[in-house]
Amino acid sequence: TPGISREQFLKNSVDAVLKDSIDWQVAALRAGFSSVITSDMLRQWEVTPWDMQEMVCGSRDDKGPVRIRDVFRIVLDEELSAAASPIVEELWHVTDQWDGDMVRALIKFVTGSDRLPLPGTELIKIELPFVAVNRADHQRHLGMLPQAHTCENTLELPNYWESLLSVNGHVPETISD
């Protein structure tokens, strides 16, 4: 546009994209939130904007040790929850020894965010979705890495324990090689 400075053009463009185009969404969010919790309630409870941000986005400040199962609700698939699973026991044994940064890296791998939610407000599902039907499958499982689905906070693990036993001849093969 003639007669407008570069700085003003950039400011107008940023405002159009980051403010004006989402005004209706912010208004709808504000209306929905206000229908449940009024600003008077927030003042009465002494909730600051920073408190609200932490409630919605999670905390990034706490760099101390974190136990995943103390922050997240853990949902195990049937195979893992049927009995005391060595895989789950070892997962907790290993992660409980990690420092806060390592645990946050795992949390980011599983959830897509390294921020910690308020305890008990989010869940992580741990599943063993991979089926080994013979010794070669078990051998392949031992070389697999865990997989994650961040949209559903799901951690998929190969059944390393069963595969180790099978490869070492301790579990009968269900289908012959």
CA 148/CA 80 separation, integer angstroms: 17
Query: Strand, coil or helix: what is 77?
Result: coil
pLDDT at 53 (0 to 100) = 80
H helix intervals, 113-174 = 135-142, 160-167
pLDDT beyond 50 at 45: yes
User: What is the arithmetic mean of pLDDT over 9-34?
Assistant: 90
User: What is the arithmetic mean of pLDDT over 122-134?
Assistant: 89
Band the pLDDT of 83: cuts 50, 70, 90: low
User: What is the arithmetic mean of pLDDT over 153-176?
Assistant: 75
User: What is the arithmetic mean of pLDDT over 151-169?
Assistant: 86
CA 169/CA 76 separation, integer angstroms: 27
Band the pLDDT of 124: cuts 50, 70, 90: very high
pLDDT beyond 60 at 1: no
Asked if residue 124 lies in contact with residue 153, where contact means CB atoms within 8 angstroms, the answer is yes
pLDDT beyond 60 at 172: no
